[in-house]
Amino acid sequence: MEENIIFTETERLILRNMVSKDYKDLCKILQDDEVMYAYEGAFRDQEVQNWLDKQMTRYREDGFGLCAVIRKEDGEMIGQCGLTMQEVWGKQVIEIGYLFRKEYWHQGYAIEAARACKEYAFGVLHAKEVFSIIRDNNIPSQNVAKRNGMKPVDMFVKHYRGVDMPHIVFSVKEAGAESKG
C-alpha cells in the first residue's frame, strides 16, 4: 500500500508525495496545452506516467521530488510543487518547481507552496542557495520566483522535447550565506 507522505504544509495547502492513483489528477495538469506552454504543449499518456515514475524515483533516491499540492478546504489536487535536484554550473543544486491547474491560477497558491519549499530547503535540508530554472518566455513562473525572493543569476539553453529552450537561472541564498558573499 502506498502511503500519503506529507512533505510540508501551509495555511491553505498540503504538499504530499504523489502516489499511483494521482495519475488522473496529474493528467489534468500535464495534458493541458495552456499549462504546458513552456514544455512545448500537452504530454501524451506515457509521458505523464514517466513523469510520475520519475517523482517516485526522486522520493526514494533524493528524499524529495515534485509533490501533489492538495487544497485543504476540499482535498482537491490543484497542482504540483516541490524540490528536485538539477544540474547548474556542473553541480547538483536544489530547484523549486511548480505547475498548477489553470482554474487555480491567480489565487496565490503557487507562491504559498513555493515559499514553503524554500523554507524546507533552507530549514530542513540546510541548503545555502536554492534555484528555479525557468524558460525565458514563462513570465508567470518568473514572477513566482521573484516573489519568492529570487533574482536572475544566469542563462543557459536546455534541449527538451527536441527544442532548444533558453532558460533563466533564478536563485536565492540563505540569509546567513548571503552575508558571507
Residue 130 CB, shortest distance to ligand COA, in Å, is: 14
Taking CB under 6 A as the criterion, the residue among 35, 70, 88, 172 binding ligand COA is 35
Binding flags for ligand COA, 67-106, as an x/- string (CB under 6 A): -------------------------------xxx----xx
| CB-facing half-sphere around the CA of 45: CA atoms within 13 A | 1
- Residue 74 burial (C-beta neighbours within 10 Å; 0-12, 13-18, 19+): exposed
Give the C-alpha separation, 132 to 124, whole Å: 18
Taking CB under 6 A as the criterion, the residue among 83, 144, 150, 169 binding ligand COA is 144
Partnered with residue 99 across adjacent β-strands are 80
Residue 169 CB, shortest distance to ligand COA, in Å, is: 11
Give residues in contact with ligand COA (CB under 6 A): 35, 38, 98-100, 105-111, 134, 138, 140-141, 143-144
